Structure 1
Amino acid sequence: MTEPRVHRDPAFALLSLYETALPKVYGYLLSRCGDRTLAEELTSETFLGAVRACRKELAPPVSTGWLIGVARHKLADHWRRKEREERGLRLVHEEEYTDPWDERLDALLAREVLASLGAHHQAALTLRYVDGLPVPEVAEHLERTVHATEALLVRARAAFRRAYQEKEGRDA
C-alpha cells in the first residue's frame, strides 16, 4: 500500500511574504487612491486574488513586485467599476486640447484635484503620469483601445487643467 502524497499549497509562499509585502502593497494603493478605507479594501482584494492566482497551474513566482502588479490591476478594476457607475450620471464633453503639464504644479493641490475627477480620468492620469506607463499599457489596464485611451487622456488632462485652475484661483 502506498502512502498518499500530500502536495504543499502554493499559497504558502504568499503567506511567508505577507508581512513584508503588506505595507508596500497598502502604501502603493493608498498613494494612488488617497482613501484609507478604499486602500484597505483593495489590499485585501489583492491578497485574495493573489491566493487564487497562486493555486492555478503555471502560477507566476510570488514576489512583492508581482503583488504590486496585482494591486495595480485591482485599482484599475475599481476605477472601471466606478466609471461605469458615473457614466450613467453625466455626459462627457469633448474639450479643446491643452496640456496641463506645461507648468509646475503644487503637489498637494494636484492630488486634491486628481481625487475630485471622475474615476475614468483618475485612472488614466494616474496610470500614465504617476505610474509612468506608456499609453498602450494604460489602454490594456483600462480595457480600451489605444486610440480611445489617447482620447480619454486628452479629456482627462483638460478636466484636470480646468479643475486645477479653478481650485488655484479660489485658494489664491
Structure 2
Amino acid sequence: MHPDPAFALLEVYDAALPQVYGYLLARCGDRAHAEELTSETFLAAVQGCRDGGPVSPAWLIGIARHKLVDHWRRKERETRGLRLAYQEERVDDPWDEEVDALHAREVLAALTPDHRCALTLRYLDGLPVPEVARHLGRTVHATESLLARARAAFRRAYTGGPR
C-alpha cells in the first residue's frame, strides 16, 4: 500500500497557510472571500499533489492566484448583465503619480471584477502583460485594451472625475 502523495502537503501547510491567506486577503480585501479562496486553494493543492505537483509555498501561491482570478471571473459574469456597455476614453497612466494606498485600495475594490483582476495581476503582482493575458484567458491585445480601460476607470474613480 502506497501512502497518499497529498500527505506531502501537510509538511508545508503550517508555514504556507499564512502566506496563502495573506496573499489573498491583500488582493481581495475581504476576510470571508480570502478564507473561502484559501480553502479552495488547499483543496486544489490536494488534487495537485495527487497529480504529482511540486509541493512548495510558491506553488501554493500560484494556485491561490488562479483561484483569485476564477473568483473575479465569476463576479464579472454575475455583474455583466447589470452594466451598460460603454467605451472609455484613453487617459494617462494613473500609476505615473504617487497614490494614497488606502484610497487606491478602496477605488480598486469598487472597480468591476475584470478591471480589478487585470490591475491586480499587472501592478500588484507585477506580472508582464503576456502573463496577465494567460491568467485571464485573453489575447495580449485584448488584455492591453482591458488594462487601458481599467486604468481609465481607476483614474476617474481615484480623482473623482466624470464617469
- Give TM class, smaller chain: over 0.9
> Which letter maps to 1:91?
L
Task: Give the whole-Å Cα distance in 2 for the aligned partners of 1:84 and 1:151.
Answer: 19
Displacement of 1:102: 2.1
TM-score, length of structure 2 as denominator length: 0.95
Alignment match, 1:49 = 44
Q: Which amino acid aligns with 1:81?
A: R
Moved over 2 A (4+): none
The CA deviation at 1:92 is 3.4
Match of 1:39 among 34, 45, 54: 34
**% of aligned pairs identical?**
73
1:68 aligns with 2:71: no
Aligned pair count?
160
Matches within 5 A, 1:1-172: 6-56=1-51, 59-98=52-91, 99-166=93-160
Q: Which amino acid aligns with 1:111?
A: R
Counterpart residue identity of residue 153, structure 1: L
Q: CA deviation at 1:83?
A: 0.8
Could you tell me how far 1:103 is from its partner in structure 2?
Answer: 1.4
Aligned-residue offset at 1:93: 1.8
* Higher gyration radius (CA): 1
Give the gaps of 5 or more residues in structure 1: 1-5, 168-172
TM-score, structure 1 normalization: 0.90
Provide the secondary structure at the position in 2 that maps to 1:15. helix
Instruction: Tell me how far apart the structure 2 counterparts of residues 140 and 46 of structure 1 sit (CA, whole Å).
Output: 19
Partner AA of 1:65 in structure 2? A
> What letter matches 2:85 in structure 1?
V
Return the alpha-carbon distance in structure 1 between the equivalents of residues 57 and 83 of structure 2: 38
- List alignment gaps of at least 5 residues for structure 2: none
Deviations 1:33-61 (A, max 9, x none): 100000000000000000011112xx221
Q: CA RMSD in A?
A: 1.0
